[in-house]
Amino acid sequence: MEQATKERYREQVQQVFNRISLTGLPERDPGLSELPLDRVFISLSVEVRPAVASLRYDLADGDRQDGLPALAVGQPKGSTRGDRPSLRPPPAPEPVKLSVGQALNQYRRLIIVGDPGSGKTTLLRWLAVTFAADRQADPDRLGPAFSEPCLPVILELRRFAERLRNLAEQPSAFDLADEISSYVAHDARFAGMPQEAMRAAIAAGGCFILLDGLDEIEDRQARTRLVEAIEALYLNPRSKLANNLCLLTTRPHGFANLSIGTGFQTATVRPFGRDNVAAFIRNWYRVAYGEHGLSGEADQLVEAIGANERVEALATNPLLCTIIAVVFRNNRVLPDRRVELYFKCCEALLDTWERNKDIKNSGLIGGFGLQQKLELLATLAYWLHGENERLSAPEEAIVQSIAVALTTDHHSDPGSAEARPADSSRRSATVPGCCEGEAMAR
């Protein structure tokens, strides 16, 4: 790849991903729509369970399948078979806490599993920006173990879902490197990146392949085929393809009943501890509101969170800390009870959506009050989560669900609800974890 092409692509990656969008979050400051991600980001820690070599036993004669005699746990040498206690499997290893840099240095291929709002997508974008700026070796980033330049390549799987469904219907396996190269080359955000140049960079093993949101691939077969394609990319250890770093993010249900071999290690995002919360809040205030005497307010918020066990139990990830910070900034106080904090978050989010999407002038529910909207959303959320592994729903189904709720609660005639859905270009809705702003901290 020509140096000029590579540098332009690195700059594009930073422009696209070095930002946190506040759309959908309860921020009342109209001048605060986006923040630089690398100035807000607090490094996550993860837990990994080291693999243990397991020995299988033949239950008939007590011999190990490797041909050696089987001794039960605690059995002295020389004991007869009749003296043996029941065989027990070795205990599972304790999880090991690592920084992302430590985990990536040790395993090089990671599956990052985390709940909604835990910071998976933000981590992936931060890594892309860090490698694009060639700052991965900095002490406050990943450290000196990552001194070699590496080209970050992000595949946002929700954007790739339709293509992947088509690929899954074909009988033959697909080449993930070819698909990634085509995806990047046809993405307007990376204009000027030739497909063959990106394919050559991946083939040379000098890339960091970042796959975001396996759980957002709704079709189970498509998910399975994608996992097979990822495995195939790393099957030949002699190929330079195997030298590419790789990180895949997913919610837990997205990886259920799936496994990846070829050296991939599963790592679970750890919830924020008290120090993480304090660091995140102070970072947020400094970047979002500047140094205009608000450091004292940040300290007040940190103290308020620490003084309330229920609120502190809620402040476990970047998304929830962000909402708590904005609610506190808007109200100058945190509710004593967690249910009241939930209500404040919902109230502020609905206020934000109304202003951002001009809801008052659209559709049937424009004239509804806050309580009516909350009741409709509660019914819709219950319906969405009522089916196992339902990741999204078509617009028609959501309209029908709302129509039923309107009829049941005597708000309106269902025919009018179906005839006048919200003025939205969306054809489907993803099942929400906490709020629409989850994308900034998934």
Q: In which band, very low, low, confident or very high, does the pLDDT at 139 lie, cut at 50, 70 and 90?
A: very high
| CA dist., res. 281 & res. 269, Å (int) | 19
Lowest mean pLDDT among 124-133, 159-168, 202-211, 254-263: 254-263
Tell whether the model's pLDDT for residue 105 goes beyond 60.
yes
Residue matched to tokens 């945190």: 334
Q: Average pLDDT of 150-162?
A: 93
Instruction: Please report, as a single letter, which amino acid is at residue 174.
Output: F
Q: Using the 8-state DSSP alphabet, how is residue 187 labeled?
A: -
Q: Average pLDDT of 251-263?
A: 84
Q: In which band, very low, low, confident or very high, does the pLDDT at 196 lie, cut at 50, 70 and 90?
A: very high
Tell whether the model's pLDDT for residue 301 goes beyond 70.
yes
- Percent of the chain past pLDDT 70, that is, above it, reads 74
Pairing of strands 245-250, 109-113: parallel
The enclosing H or E element of 343 equals helix 338-357
**For residue 407, how many other CB atoms are within 10 A of its CB?**
14
Q: Average pLDDT of 286-315?
A: 84
More confident residue, 127 or 404: 127
Pairing of strands 34-35, 45-48: unpaired
Specify whether the CB–CB gap between 345 and 327 falls below 8 A: yes
Q: Average pLDDT of 346-350?
A: 72
More confident residue, 86 or 197: 197
> Phi and psi for 430 in degrees, rounded to 5?
-80, 145
Angle at 100 between CA 96 and CA 105, to 5 degrees: 90
Look up the CATH number of domain 3-49+94-269: 3.40.50.300
Query: Measured on CA atoms in the order 384, 390, 395, 400, is the torsion positive or negative?
Result: negative
Specify whether the CB–CB gap between 144 and 200 falls below 8 A: no
More confident residue, 367 or 153: 153
More confident residue, 362 or 264: 264
**Which of 143-152, 218-227, 316-325 has the highest mean predicted lDDT (pLDDT)?**
143-152
Specify whether the CB–CB gap between 359 and 352 falls below 8 A: no
Instruction: State the burial class of residue 248 (Cβ atoms within 10 Å of its Cβ: 0-12, 13-18, 19+).
Output: buried
pLDDT at 244: 96
The residues of the chain that CATH labels 3.40.50.300 are: 3-49+94-269
Tell whether the model's pLDDT for residue 53 goes beyond 70.
no
Query: Measured on CA atoms in the order 13, 289, 31, 159, is the torsion positive or negative?
Result: positive
| CA dist., res. 147 & res. 138, Å (int) | 9
Task: State the helix-helix crossing angle for 318-331 and 274-289, rounded to 10 degrees.
Answer: 60
**For residue 311, how many other CB atoms are within 10 A of its CB?**
20
Residue 23's alpha-carbon distances to 121, 350, 355, in angstroms, are 16, 12, 11
Please give the biggest Cα pair distance in the chain: 85
Helices (runs of H) and strands (runs of E) counted in the chain: 16, 11
**Which of 78-87, 90-99, 335-344, 415-424 has the highest mean predicted lDDT (pLDDT)?**
90-99
Q: DSSP per residue over 264-281, as a string? A: -EEEEEPPP-HHHHHHHH
pLDDT at 354: 63
Specify whether the CB–CB gap between 227 and 258 falls below 8 A: yes
pLDDT at 74: 44
187: Cβ contacts below 8 Å, ≥ 6 apart: none
**For residue 382, how many other CB atoms are within 10 A of its CB?**
11
434: Cβ contacts below 8 Å, ≥ 6 apart: 116, 117, 319, 320, 323, 345
For 100-194, list the strands marked E by DSSP. 109-113, 151-156
Kindly report the average pLDDT of the chain as a whole number.
Answer: 79
Q: In which band, very low, low, confident or very high, does the pLDDT at 438 lie, cut at 50, 70 and 90?
A: very low
